[in-house]
Amino acid sequence: MTNHKKTEKQEKVQHTVCMDCSSYSTYCYRCDDFVVNDTKLGLVQKVREHLQNLENSAFTSDRHRKRKLLENSSMNSKLLKVNGSTTALCATGLRNLGNTCFMNAILQSLSNIQQFCCYFKELPAVELRNGKTAGRRTYHTRSQGDNNVSLVEEFRKTLCALWQGSQTAFSPESLFYVVWKIMPNFRGYQQQDAHEFMRYLLDHLHLELQGGFNGVSRSVILQENSSLTASSKCCINGASTVVTAIFGGILQNEVNCLICGTESRKFDPFLDLSLDIPSQFRNKRTKNQENGPMCTLRDCLRSFTDLEELDETELYMCHKCKKKQKSTKKFWIQKLPKVLCLHLKRFHWTAYLRNKVDTYVEFPLRGLDMKCYLLEPENSGPESCLYDLAAVVVHHGSGVGSGHYTAYAAHEGRWFHFNDSTVTLTDEETVVKAKAYILFYVERQAKSGSDKL
The C-alpha atoms of residue 446 and residue 366 are separated, in whole angstroms, by: 13
CB 26 within 8 A of CB 2: no
Question: Is residue 171 very low, low, confident or very high in pLDDT (cuts 50, 70, 90)?
Answer: very high
Per-residue burial over 323-350, b if 16 or more Cβ lie within 10 Å, else e, is eebbbebebbbbbbbbbbbbbbebbeee
CA atoms within 13 A on the CB side of 275: 26
Q: What is the mean pLDDT of residues 289-315?
A: 84
Q: What is the mean pLDDT of residues 376-396?
A: 83
3-state DSSP helix/strand/coil % of the chain, to nearest 5: 35, 30, 40
Using one digit for the tens of pLDDT, what is the confidence trace for 265-294? 889 999 999 999 998 887 756 655 556 688
Tell which wins on pLDDT, 46 or 442.
442
Indicate the pTM of the whole model: 0.73
Among residues 252, 267, 255, 253, the alpha carbon closest in space to that of 327 is found at 255
pLDDT of residue 193: 93
**Phi, psi (5° rounding) for residue 293?**
-70, 160
Tell which wins on pLDDT, 112 or 398.
112
pLDDT of residue 263: 86
Catalytic residue, chosen from 140, 348, 396, 404, is 404
Amino acid present at 253: N
The C-alpha atoms of residue 158 and residue 93 are separated, in whole angstroms, by: 11
CB 40 within 8 A of CB 23: yes
Annotation marks residue 404 as catalytic: yes
Using one digit for the tens of pLDDT, what is the confidence trace for 231-262? 444 556 568 899 999 999 999 998 988 888 88
Tell which wins on pLDDT, 55 or 7.
55
pLDDT of residue 291: 61
Other CB atoms within 10 A of residue 411 CB: 16
Using one digit for the tens of pLDDT, what is the confidence trace for 62-81? 555 545 544 444 444 444 44
Q: What is the mean pLDDT of residues 187-206?
A: 94
Among residues 66, 90, 65, the alpha carbon closest in space to that of 77 is found at 90
Q: What is the mean pLDDT of residues 338-356?
A: 86
How does strand 93-94 pair with strand 169-170?
parallel
- Mean pLDDT for all residues in the chain: 76
The C-alpha atoms of residue 401 and residue 178 are separated, in whole angstroms, by: 22
Strand partners, 436: 394
The C-alpha atoms of residue 340 and residue 336 are separated, in whole angstroms, by: 7
Q: Which range has the worst mean pLDDT, 8-22, 164-178, 422-436?
A: 8-22
Among residues 259, 442, 293, the alpha carbon closest in space to that of 362 is found at 293
The C-alpha atoms of residue 209 and residue 221 are separated, in whole angstroms, by: 10
Catalytic residue, chosen from 4, 101, 160, 372, is 101
Annotation marks residue 195 as catalytic: no
Q: Does residue 82 have a pLDDT over 80?
A: no
SS (H, E, C) 153-200: HHHHHHHHHHCCCCCCEECCHHHHHHHHHHCHHHCCCCCCCHHHHHHH
CB 370 within 8 A of CB 336: yes
pLDDT of residue 281: 85
Strand partners, 28: 13, 33
Q: Does residue 230 have a pLDDT over 50?
A: no
Domains, the chain, in order of start with CATH, read: 13-54 (no CATH), 88-124+149-209+240-282+294-447 (3.90.70.10)
pLDDT of residue 90: 73
Per cent of the chain over pLDDT 90 is 41
Q: Does residue 220 have a pLDDT over 80?
A: no
pLDDT of residue 44: 58
